[in-house]
Amino acid sequence: MRIGLLEDEVEQARNLSASLVEKGHACEFFHTGQSFLYAVTHNSYDLLIMDWQLPDMEGTDALRDVRKELNWKIPVIFLTQRDSEEDIITALEAGADDYLVKPARIGELVARINALSRRTSTEDDQKDDQLIQGPFTIDLHARTIHCHGESLALTDKDFDLAVFMFQNVGRLLSRNHLLERVWGVSSDLNTRTVDTHVSRLRRKLGVKPENGFRIKTIYQHGYRLEAVTS
């Protein structure tokens, strides 16, 4: 799981990040709200861990910006020293999914991360077996995609990439994230693999404005599948 960590205490951020990496997660940490917001709008993460008291803004304000700007339901855990009932209510109403009081016990934190991941996976599993986006009909069980009723010839990896992108319409997906989620490999491998497959997918799917979508290349970051309105 790719985790974005917002923690203004440098040593705490390093220690927590190292602990999460030991547990099998990828983690990037940031010390200011602005650097964090820039990162989450130019990269992609599966889960965010956020502190409240920051040098440049309140953590709750940063969270509201995340929910407003990114418009996707990424799980968020608030990790802070503030422990009053009022603070917990404020964070949850701002969009947090869970709340932990410092000092963090890594075992409990990982358990909560896993619980949020399971909940997200369960919600996805409960969706229809068929995903319809404009003229594209995706059968998740038969592993087929039709456009305007015509079956498209795709490899298994083409199908996996297409499904992941259609499940995240409007969301920036970094090359490293795509490598991890679609190919299941470490992000330190050559990302040209992603570029090649995305280019081929554009052609095979017929992703173009006439069909209601486009794949936008975000320079030095990745790709975003966007709905095109007439």
In contact, 216 and 172? CB cutoff 8 Å: no
Handedness of CA 127, 130, 131, 134 (dihedral sign): negative
Q: Which residues of 140-156 are buried (b: 16+ CB within 10 A; e: fewer)?
A: beeeebebeeeebebee
- Kindly list the distances between the CA atom of residue 84 and the CA atoms of 76, 108, 221, in Å, as whole numbers in the listed order: 19, 20, 39
pLDDT (0 to 100) of residue 123: 53
In contact, 194 and 202? CB cutoff 8 Å: no
Question: What residue type is 9 in one-letter code?
Answer: E
Q: Which residues contact 37 (CB under 8 A, 6 or more apart)?
A: 62, 65, 66, 69
Q: How far apart are CA 52 and CA 61, in angstroms?
A: 9
Handedness of CA 108, 59, 54, 7 (dihedral sign): positive
Q: How many domains does the chain have?
A: 2
Q: Which of 102, 124, 146 is the last residue of a domain?
A: 124
pLDDT (0 to 100) of residue 72: 65
pLDDT (0 to 100) of residue 113: 92
Q: Which of 103, 124, 145 is the last residue of a domain?
A: 124
Q: Which residues contact 207 (CB under 8 A, 6 or more apart)?
A: 201, 213, 214, 215, 225
134 and 111: one domain? no
49 and 87: one domain? yes
The predicted-structure confidence for 170-212, as pLDDT tens digits, reads as follows 888 888 888 888 888 765 556 688 999 999 999 999 999 999 9
Q: How far apart are CA 165 and CA 141, in angstroms?
A: 17
42 and 72: one domain? yes
172 and 59: one domain? no
Six token digits for residue 132 = 């319809």
68 and 151: one domain? no
93 and 34: one domain? yes
Q: Which residues of the chain have pLDDT under 50?
A: 125-126
Q: Around Cβ 168, how many Cβ atoms within 10 Å?
A: 16
Q: Which of 84, 102, 124 is the last residue of a domain?
A: 124
62 and 134: one domain? no
DSSP string, 37-80: HHHHHHS--SEEEE-SB-SSSBHHHHHHHHHHHH-S---EEEEE
The CATH number for 91's domain is 3.40.50.2300
101 and 120: one domain? yes
194 and 111: one domain? no
In contact, 97 and 123? CB cutoff 8 Å: no
12 and 118: one domain? yes
118 and 208: one domain? no
pLDDT (0 to 100) of residue 138: 95
74 and 136: one domain? no
The answer to whether the pTM exceeds 0.75 is no
Q: Find the domain containing 86 and state its range.
A: 2-124
pLDDT (0 to 100) of residue 119: 75
Place of tokens 């990162």: 39
The CATH number for 148's domain is 1.10.10.10
pLDDT (0 to 100) of residue 126: 44
